[in-house]
Every structure is written in C-alpha cells, then in structure tokens.
Structure 1
Amino acid sequence: MKNLKLFCTAIVFFLSFNLCAQEAEKPGNSAQELADKLANPVASLISVPIQNNINYGIGPYNGVKYTINIQPVIPFKLTDNLNLITRYILPVVDQRNITGLNTHEFGLSDATVTAFFAPKSNKIIYGIGPAFLVPTATEKFLGTEKFGVGPSLLIMHQGKGLSVGFIANQIWSFAGNADRADFNQFYTQIFLTHSYKSGASIGISSEITQNWQGNTTLITISPNVGAITKLGSQTMQFAVMPLIPIVGHSSIRPDWGLRAVVAFVFPQK
C-alpha cells in the first residue's frame, strides 16, 4: 500500500503540474520537436529518465514489485555523420511476496548498458551496437550474478509528429557465478507515438521479454500520454501509462501494473 500511495502521488503531481504548465506556456514548434527527439532512442539529446513501475499480483503469492529505473542517455559525436548513443538502465527494486510468502527484498538489480552506433539519416533511422549485462544487484534474488553481452538494434521511421519503430536486444551470459543459471534473454519494445505542437504526446507500445533459459514469455501493451514542460529553467517530460499483460506464465505475469516517467532533458546546443 505504501508503494501504491507513492505511485499515485507521483501521478497526481504529474497531472496537476502538467495542467499548470500548459496554462503558463504557449504552444510552440520547439516543444513538439523536443517530444519527437525524446521518442527517438538514438537522438543526439542528453536525457535522464526516471521510470517508476509498479506491478501487482505476481506469482502464486500475489506479489508486489516496485521498480525505479534510472536511465540516462548520453550521446557522443564520432564524426559529422555518425553518433554513439549510450543508454544505461540501473534498476532499484522493492518487492514483497515474490520469492515466497511474507518475503521482502530491496536493493539494486542488474544494470544494462547499450551502445548504439547511429548514422545520421532523415528517413529510416537505425542504430546497432552491443548491449551489456552488469551484475550490480545487491541481493541475490534481485540479480543473476552474471556478466552478459549481445547485439542491440533500433529501426524506426520519424516524421514531424509521428514516430514508429522498435528497439531490441539479445543478451547471453559469458561469466559470473557458476552456481547460478545462465542468462539468455531477448527483449524488444515496439512503439508508435504522435506528438502535438504543445509538446503533448499520445502513443502505444508493446514490450516482449523472452527468457530462453527459463522458457518463459512476457508480453505487455501500454497506451500512454506525455507532455513537455518546464520546472524553472529545467526542461522535463512526464508520461503515464498502464502496464497491461497479455501473455505470460503465471509465475512471472502480473495481474496489472502502472508506469510513470519523468525525464530531465538537456538539449544540446
């Protein structure tokens, strides 16, 4: 209940703050351009999204899992026509009744680091590079205790106000605790987003996680709404969405979930 209260407070803050911001700012093309860049995972834009996820009804004990993903995106210009986009995901997890009845785990989970080599393009946008699994978990039940690596790929098309594409990776473990199960997992996110001149956006995405080692599949679908606004001089994006599971084994599939994202944006001049 405490996690739910915190999550609901974040959503209420988002809604009320967004309404105030829309009244204070006039619509402009720059806000829409920024929303389009944020929809592009390999845009030359520094951002630090903080993604809040809460899922209920997991496994045989109706577990609850609250995850904060800290996800900085940092681009590097290699040449006039080639960028290196680095993406980092560091999860902080608070879960109850997942590993057993009346159990509780809290701490860091494993980090994922992705590096996309992205040629500049005005039509089909793409990026390719390695993805790394780093065993940063502070609790054995929150991580794999394995190092992993594999390929990552992004393909998308973007026009003014419309972004559609997918991002995917496949990671295999190659080192780590020999007593733990190997890591062999495929992940993809398919997305479609429409932005407006005000910086508001609506969209829909689907996430697919295939654990080849455990032979489990989890597929969720998420309609979403977002907005660009400012807190003082700091540009920010907010987004909220339900996490609706449509495929998944009963041991990993939640009954339902919610996600709220706040991204701190630092446009490059």
Structure 2
Amino acid sequence: MKCSTPSLKFKSVLVLAAISLFHLTAIAQEEKAGASAQELADKLANPVASLISVPLQNNLSYGIGPFNGSKYTINVQPVIPFKLSDNLNLITRYIVPIVDQRDITGENTHQFGLSDATITAFLAPKSEKIIWGFGPAFLVPTATDKVLGTQKFGIGPSVLIMHQGKGLSVGLLANHIWSVAGNQDRADVNQFYVQAFLSHSYKSGASLGANVEITQNWDGNTTMVSLNPSIGAVTKLGSQVVQFALMPLIPIIGPSEYKPDWGLRAVLAFVFPGS
C-alpha cells in the first residue's frame, strides 16, 4: 500500500519546531536563566496553574488503518485562569483541533477542517504540595466535516491530582464525557480519558518527562494507549516567553483501524508569566 503524507508545510512546521527546540535548549542551558525559568517550567507542567498560556500542539501520525493513512492535527489550547478568591481559582482550558487527514476513510480520500472542541473548567484550591482540581468537561460539536466529529454535545466530570516540588511534577488527569444531545443518527459518546504524567525541570528552563495517555470508548469497545516521552525548554523569542517541547508518540494498544504505526508531537506554547 502507498504511504500518504501530509502537505509539505505541515511537515515543515514539525521540522522547524524540532530544530528550534534543540537550539533553544542549548541557549537556555548556556544562559543559565535561573529559578524563574524553572518556576515557569514547573507551572507549565501543572494543568491548573494560575498562568495564561496558549499552546499550539502539533500532532503527526503515520500508518493509520488499512490504507496506511496519515493525520496531522494542530490543537489550539489556550489556558485562562480566573481568581475566585484568595484561595480558589477557576482554570479554564480549551482544545480546538484543526485536522488534515489522508487515506483514513478510504484510499485517496482527504478531509480538512475543524474537529470537535473540548472545554474544561477546573475549580482549583491553592496548594503548594498536593495539587488538585475538579470540574465539568464539555464536548462541543464544532467539526466542519461529519467525518471529523461526533455531531454530539457532551458533558462529564474532570479531575486532576498531582504532587509538585521544585523541579518535579507527577500527576493524573482524567475525564469522562457522555453525549446528551445532537444528531440521533450518530453513535453516542461514552468516552473515558486519563493521562498520567511525570516531568523534571532544570534551572535552565529545560525539562524532561513522559506521559501515558489512555482513551477508552465504552460504546465502541475500543482502547487506545500511547507512551510519550518528552524534552522541552522555556526561553524567549524577543520579549515573548515561550516553551518548546518535542515528543515521539509511541502507540502501545489500539484497534488496527485507528492505531498508527508511529507519531510525533511538537508544541509551541506562548506564556504570559505576568498574568
């Protein structure tokens, strides 16, 4: 079977991100940015940190399904905190996926557009060691192509618990979403997602880590598991604070029609530490 590939500009984004990551990691280590860079790296490892950031998460997967398809997804993921009191924050997280996929639904097929958005709102009490948060997660049917979305509106609980010390972050993030409205001709959504993560930061702002992502579709009786080691760096582009991260996506478990042979993720996050 032929090997389909995303457009050149999408591959170029990942290549440039990888080159920039290692270049900027070296710069960060040479400059020894100190505790402030490490503090930012630690906050970025905390999903409920009171910090405004706009990550652009680029995901590229190859060898999907019987037609050896490929899929490029850029997730626009702004994180916006709100202070409710001196001891309680509301952390809102948005995931808006833009998808370009080829040979997924059949040979020589192509879909491009928005997929469904996910919005999560965590109530997060202030804590220094054991950090936790909980709140609702919403599935919003924003897909511009019926193949790219569920055509369902969903809701469910989301929870985070983690331990964080200087330079070390370890935790668990989970949600479960059920569909409650939408196109009755489409399959219901009954999906559980969990991510276990570990990250170690350095004074330079560099970080090493890994996470395991598990997605269980109860109605479809399918399980997807991937292991994702990562390397990252906090630095500046001009006056703008940014974080770069690069990680291979290693599929462990998944049905043959969905499980890719391999994947790669590159993240560029714009950080606003003064927020």
Q: TM-score range by the shorter chain?
A: over 0.9
Task: State the shift of 1:22 in Å.
Answer: 4.2
2:95 pairs with 1:99? no
Of the candidates 235, 248, 252, which is equivalent to residue 242 of structure 1? Answer: 248
Give, as a single letter, the amino acid of the residue that structure 1 aligns with 2:32: K
Count of aligned positions? 268
SS at match of 2:220: coil
For 1:71-220, list aligned pairs within 5 A: 71-220=77-226
TM-score, scaled relative to structure 1 = 0.97
Give, as a single letter, the amino acid of the residue that structure 2 aligns with 1:107: G
In 2, Cα distance between the equivalents of 1:87 and 1:104?
Answer: 29
Q: Partner of 1:226 in structure 2?
A: 232
Percent of residue pairs bearing the same amino acid type:
72
CA RMSD of aligned residues (A): 1.1
SS at match of 1:10: helix
In 2, Cα distance between the equivalents of 1:11 and 1:177?
Answer: 40
Query: Is the 8 Å Cα contact of residues 209 and 219 (structure 1) preserved in structure 2?
Result: yes
Alpha-carbon displacement from aligned partner over 1:13-35 (angstroms, at most 9, x marks no partner): 33234434544x33311110110
Q: Partner of 1:13 in structure 2?
A: 20
Alpha-carbon displacement from aligned partner over 1:93-115 (angstroms, at most 9, x marks no partner): 00000011110000000000000
Task: State the shift of 1:122 in Å.
Answer: 1.7
Query: Is the 8 Å Cα contact of residues 72 and 89 (structure 1) preserved in structure 2?
Result: yes
Which structure 1 residue ranges, 5 or more long, are not aligned?
none
TM-score, scaled relative to structure 2 = 0.95
Alpha-carbon displacement from aligned partner over 1:32-76 (angstroms, at most 9, x marks no partner): 011000000000000000000000011111110000000000000
Task: State the shift of 1:12 in Å.
Answer: 1.7
SS at match of 2:170: strand
Query: Is the 8 Å Cα contact of residues 21 and 230 (structure 1) preserved in structure 2?
Result: no
Query: Is the 8 Å Cα contact of residues 135 and 145 (structure 1) preserved in structure 2?
Result: yes
Which structure 2 residue ranges, 5 or more long, are not aligned?
none
In 2, Cα distance between the equivalents of 1:225 and 1:121?
Answer: 26
In 2, Cα distance between the equivalents of 1:160 and 1:20?
Answer: 22
Task: State the shift of 1:8 in Å.
Answer: 1.8
In 1, Cα distance between the equivalents of 2:13 and 2:32?
Answer: 31
In 2, Cα distance between the equivalents of 1:19 and 1:238?
Answer: 12
